[in-house]
């Protein structure tokens, strides 16, 4: 694929055009009762209602569509993913009629593995923390002449995720709101990078924050250090979608000067946020998808008197974990 | 309020303008995997993500806004409702800064009662099946100089619900789909009446069906009989939002020549549909909100080779019942 250079705002507009008839144009949702309790305005961008149940469809569909524009005979794609990018790629490949091979950790949620297969993709497992998914991916890509679609360190993927930022700006302007901040859940940093590029052009006065689970706060620490930091482990959070070892090279280059700070919340905060999203917004969030809301609930950021959009990134969660969130 | 005459398509357009900045413009959601399994295209209109957690906000906000346009000194409104219209009226009144009194059955879900109060409304209880809520409402309206906003037999409310039909038509045209049918959950018949008026102008070849729970299939039987029929009881379905005694006079006059047939599903079907909406669409549905999807799952209507939109009307459900749906 592309040499990793930063996508431009024009690349985001191109992505928006590619996604126009395929992606869900998610609205902003708001709960007057919750606002009363919080003393500020919280709007959520419900990307769990996106095709394949997570925002990842945006980047995957944009990338595969662009690849086919360049090479109409593209034989197939390959990627590695803990689950949501896997489903986004599998569905996008199926929509285009090309083959997809997905490298997934053996401890990924059952629902994510099953759905990836159901979209027609071939799933190859690796042991999280023991094998390098990047290596497996590059080897298989070579052997089988597949094109690698990286989950975040890829300009076309970042541009696709950036359409979230364009839509937020459109809605905020239509509603006549002054938006203080956007909070984006952060794994490898692709979503925040894309949103950063959109905000820079459309809402330059709005601050951008990332949200991560405890022990996987590599972006928060990298922003403070000014250089990419790694996490100690690759397992151990309920937020399976956000357990990346470190920020991407390209995504960090984009985020480091544009993200104001990295916020952190615990697994317990994420479960509380899932219940709150059930009660006030009637949406199904997976733990990682609720982490941005969790940083408001735990006070990592103060919403008093402010207007904040939190992106809720996905809803691919097993029944058992959801019941746990509702039973607390 | 108005003498009950049928709203026109122009009344729906006026409602759409009033709702433009206040209501959520819900998208149509689709699951490629579910379509594969069903052998047809199922799109849902997720009105649980509407303000106040149900489509009822549309009709309530349109009615109260119109009343205030006519009488800027309106002192307050009153209504009777099992819960969703209650919340829609309470929130709409609060947004306009007018008082609201809501007459609710004493067995309404705790979450619905609590939220109605939280919006600032006064809740008056009655015993379902033993007292007439219509009588209590009319008496209190007189005594306290409040304006009655009926839950369905009211042209302004029907026009507000009809904006659902306009949005469905807009999205279907944008996506280039040929829509075979729309299925609307049916209590008093206000939503189906509003959608009928929209489809008549915008999608005249699309069939409209109502969906009701077993034992509360008054609309289905009324359509067959050609005259309004009543239900034997006022209690005994998990679909608390749909337990109306009979179709409204005005709503039946509109529905009888425009609704193709009334479909019926059991409480168990509704719980299955709630789990399916969780798995494939990542939305939280209350039992009554899932009844339209339930009529597809139980085969009351055949989706094979067809494209159908089901309106999912609300998501105001207690944790316990939702856990029950996920644990089956």
3-state secondary structure A208-239: EEEEEECCCCHHHHHHHHCCCCCCCCCCCCCC
Residues of chain B neighbouring A46 (CB-CB closer than 8 A): 49
Rounded distance between C-alpha atoms, residue A258 and residue A192, angstroms: 9
Residues of chain B neighbouring A29 (CB-CB closer than 8 A): 24, 49
Which phi and psi angles does A190 have, rounded to 5°?
Answer: -70, -40
Rounded distance between C-alpha atoms, residue A256 and residue B231, angstroms: 64
List helix spans (H) across B20-154.
32-38, 56-70, 84-96, 110-118, 133-144
**pLDDT per position as a tens digit, A118-151:** 999 999 999 987 888 889 999 999 999 999 999 9
Rounded distance between C-alpha atoms, residue B154 and residue B63, angstroms: 9
Question: Which CATH number among 3.40.50.300, 3.40.50.1100, 3.20.20.60, 1.10.10.10 corresponds to the domain A9-54+155-327?
Answer: 3.40.50.1100
Distance from CA of A8 to the nearest CA of B (A): 28
Rounded distance between C-alpha atoms, residue B252 and residue A53, angstroms: 38
Distance from CA of B46 to the nearest CA of A (A): 9
Distance from CA of B262 to the nearest CA of A (A): 27
**pLDDT per position as a tens digit, B294-324:** 999 999 999 999 999 999 999 999 999 999 9
Q: Do B106 and B126 form a contact (C-beta atoms < 8 A)? A: yes
Angle at A12 between CA A10 and CA A14, to 5 degrees: 70
**So where are chain B's domains?**
9-54+155-327, 57-148
Asked if A282 lies within 8 A of B119 by C-beta distance, the reply is no
Asked if A282 lies within 8 A of B281 by C-beta distance, the reply is no
Asked if B27 lies within 8 A of A46 by C-beta distance, the reply is no
For A121, which DSSP code? P
Residues of chain A neighbouring B326 (CB-CB closer than 8 A): 319, 322-323
Asked if A21 lies within 8 A of B278 by C-beta distance, the reply is no
Asked if B32 lies within 8 A of A279 by C-beta distance, the reply is no
User: What's domain A57-148's architecture?
Assistant: 3-Layer(aba) Sandwich (3.40)
- The answer to whether A328 contacts chain B (CB < 8 Å) is no
- The answer to whether A142 contacts chain B (CB < 8 Å) is no
- Farthest CA pair distance, chain B: 58
Return per-residue pLDDT of chain A as tens, 328 residues: 445 799 999 999 999 999 998 999 999 999 999 999 999 999 999 999 999 999 999 999 999 999 999 999 998 999 998 789 999 999 999 999 999 999 998 888 888 888 899 999 999 999 987 888 889 999 999 999 999 999 999 999 999 999 999 999 999 999 999 999 999 999 999 999 999 999 999 999 999 999 999 999 999 999 999 999 999 876 688 988 888 889 999 999 999 999 999 999 999 999 999 999 999 999 999 999 999 999 999 999 999 999 999 999 999 999 999 999 999 8
Rounded distance between C-alpha atoms, residue A9 and residue A163, angstroms: 10
- The answer to whether B281 contacts chain A (CB < 8 Å) is yes
Do the domains A57-148 and A9-54+155-327 match in fold?
Answer: yes
> What's the ipTM?
0.94
Rounded distance between C-alpha atoms, residue A314 and residue A289, angstroms: 5
């Amino acid at each position: 694929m592309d040499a990793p250079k930063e996508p431009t705002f024009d690349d985001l507009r191109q992505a928006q055009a590619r996604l126009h008839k395929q992606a869900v144009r998610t609205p902003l949702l708001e709960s007057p009762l919750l606002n009363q309790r919080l003393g500020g305005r919280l709007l959520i961008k419900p990307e769990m209602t996106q095709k394949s149940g997570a925002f990842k469809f945006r980047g995957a569909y944009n990338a595969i569509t662009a690849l086919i524009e360049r090479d109409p005979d593209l034989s197939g794609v390959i990627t590695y993913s803990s689950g949501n990018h896997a489903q986004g790629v599998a569905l996008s490949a199926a929509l285009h009629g090309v083959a997809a091979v997905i490298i997934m950790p053996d401890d990924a949620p059952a629902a994510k593995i099953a759905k990836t297969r159901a979209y027609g993709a071939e799933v190859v497992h690796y042991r999280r923390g023991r094998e390098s998914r990047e290596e497996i991916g590059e080897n298989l890509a070579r052997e089988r002449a597949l094109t690698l679609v990286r989950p975040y360190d890829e300009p076309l993927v970042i541009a696709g995720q950036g359409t979230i930022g364009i839509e937020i700006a459109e809605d905020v302007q239509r509603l006549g709101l002054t938006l203080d901040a956007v909070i984006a859940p952060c794994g490898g940093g692709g979503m925040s990078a894309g949103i950063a590029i959109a905000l820079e052009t459309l809402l330059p006065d709005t601050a951008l924050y990332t949200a991560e689970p405890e022990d996987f706060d590599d972006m928060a620490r990298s922003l403070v250090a000014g250089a990419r930091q790694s996490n100690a482990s690759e397992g151990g959070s309920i937020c399976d979608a956000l357990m990346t070892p470190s920020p991407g090279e390209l995504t960090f280059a984009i985020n480091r000067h544009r993200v104001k700070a990295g916020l952190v919340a615990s697994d317990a905060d994420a479960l509380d946020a899932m219940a709150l999203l059930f009660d006030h917004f009637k949406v199904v969030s997976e733990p990682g998808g609720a982490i941005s809301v969790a940083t408001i609930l735990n006070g990592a950021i103060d919403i008093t008197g402010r207007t904040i959009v939190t992106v809720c990134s996905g809803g691919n969660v097993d029944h058992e974990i959801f019941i746990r969130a509702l039973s607390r």
